[in-house]
Amino acid sequence: MEARSRTRPRRRARAAAACAAGLLLAGLTGCTGTAPDPGAPSASQGTSHFTGLAAPNGPVLAVKIDNVRPARPHTGLDAADLVYVEQVEAGLTRLLAVYSSRLPPSIGPVRSARESDLELLRQFGRPALAYSGARSALLPVIEAAPIAAVTPADAPGAYVRADDRPAPHNLYLRPRQALDAAERVDDARDIGLRFGPPTGTGRASPEHTVRYPAARYTFTWSPDRGGWQIAMDGTAAATADGTVLAPATVVVQYTEIRPSRFADRSGSTTPYTETVGSGRALVLRDGRAFDARWERPTAEAGTRFTTPSGEPADFARGQVWILLAPR
């Protein structure tokens, strides 16, 4: 813990420099020249690399969250900067929520990690990853990955079991305690996301549905909330305290989902979602849909989203959901 406290001033200095660079870049590419961006932070404010809002770029905490019906409603999901949707066994999905700007008191329910998480998280440098369990064959791979693993065994004080739902859907994370237990966690950095007014006009899309083999997400534009209200498997999504989930931007990133090297307890092969490469995407913002492309040349690189003509595909400022969907 002493070594970590000594490195924090240097991390803050690096984060401040990265933030200043991000603001300069936003001034160059975050506007089409035809309309101002009313949500843009002022030059005196820090800007989140993950939401485009005025916020600190603090340590990155990723949390693997259960998403079957008994695991809902979720806790703390509205505070995430980014939420990735990933396919798992039996065609179901889990969520990988990324926090940096703010930490809620509790997050969950927390479930096990997958091999795909490790490649996806490489673009964040060395983040903390909170999860509960993994296949024994995967544990050496996790230990070798550039992450700070935070499990109930590593940090028992960071987890608590709730008594209002059955296991395994009742394990919750205390994020501040989790970060205190994590070692050498990097602050948020530029991972390729750009925020500003939309490039082009797109097409009207008040509702859009994304399907997995055994899961369904429907996003409905809400002008009142300035975001996309979510229905999971036909049921409106809200957190345990009643907060309606309504991200400002939803990205459907079409990619290859293939069998991994690992199987679950029943012998079913775990899917592996490719996040290095390129492909088509769909960006939903402001009640409209914009065709896009995604590209990530290496695991260490961020993911760049562009228009079909190669311009940056700017996101609306606020929470971003990225659905890693089958091609």
Nearest-CA neighbor of 85 among 245, 234, 215? 215
Q: Is the pLDDT of residue 6 over 80?
A: no
Residue-level pLDDT at 136: 83
252 close to 281: Cβ distance less than 8 angstroms: yes
Nearest-CA neighbor of 128 among 172, 169, 98? 98
At 150-192, the pLDDT tens digits run 999 999 999 999 999 999 999 999 999 999 999 999 999 999 9
User: Six-digit token pair at 81?
Assistant: 């900067």
The DSSP H or E segment spanning 320 is: strand 320-326
Residue-level pLDDT at 194: 98
Identify the residue with better confidence: 268 or 104: 104
**Residues sharing a CB contact under 8 Å with residue 156, sequence separation 6 or more, in sequence order:** none
Mean pLDDT of all residues in 16-44 = 48
Helix/strand/coil for 246? coil
Nearest-CA neighbor of 56 among 20, 9, 100? 100
Mean pLDDT of all residues in 194-201 = 94
**Residues sharing a CB contact under 8 Å with residue 148, sequence separation 6 or more, in sequence order:** 126, 127, 128, 129, 182, 183, 184, 185
Instruction: Domain 203-326: give its CATH architecture.
Output: 3-Layer(bba) Sandwich (3.50)
Residue-level pLDDT at 30: 38
Nearest-CA neighbor of 116 among 314, 256, 2? 256
Nearest-CA neighbor of 283 among 246, 326, 243, 254? 254
Q: Is the pLDDT of residue 5 over 60?
A: no
Q: What is the bridge-based pairing of β-strands 235-236 and 128-130?
A: unpaired
Q: Is the pLDDT of residue 216 over 80?
A: yes
Q: Which residue in this structure is represented by tokens 């020249």?
A: 33
Residue-level pLDDT at 269: 84
CA gap 280, 291 in Å, rounded: 8
Helix/strand/coil for 214? coil
Instruction: Please state, for a pLDDT cut of 70, what percent of the chain lies above it.
Output: 86
Identify the residue with better confidence: 39 or 90: 90
User: Six-digit token pair at 31?
Assistant: 């506007």
Q: Do domains 2-181 and 203-326 have the same CATH topology?
A: yes
CA atoms within 13 A on the CB side of 139: 8
Q: Is the pLDDT of residue 27 over 60?
A: no
Q: What is the bridge-based pairing of β-strands 227-232 and 235-236?
A: antiparallel
CA gap 161, 154 in Å, rounded: 16
CATH number of 2-181: 3.50.90.10
| In the chain, domain spans | 2-181, 203-326
* Cα dihedral across residues 38, 308, 304, 143: positive or negative: positive
At 38-89, the pLDDT tens digits run 667 755 569 999 999 999 999 999 999 999 999 999 999 999 999 999 999 9
Nearest-CA neighbor of 326 among 251, 255, 252? 255
* Cα dihedral across residues 126, 21, 285, 80: positive or negative: positive
215 close to 288: Cβ distance less than 8 angstroms: no
Q: Is the pLDDT of residue 295 over 80?
A: yes
Q: Which residue in this structure is represented by tokens 């305290």?
A: 241
Vertex 124 angle, CA 169 and 273, to 5°: 60
Q: What is the bridge-based pairing of β-strands 277-285 and 249-255?
A: antiparallel
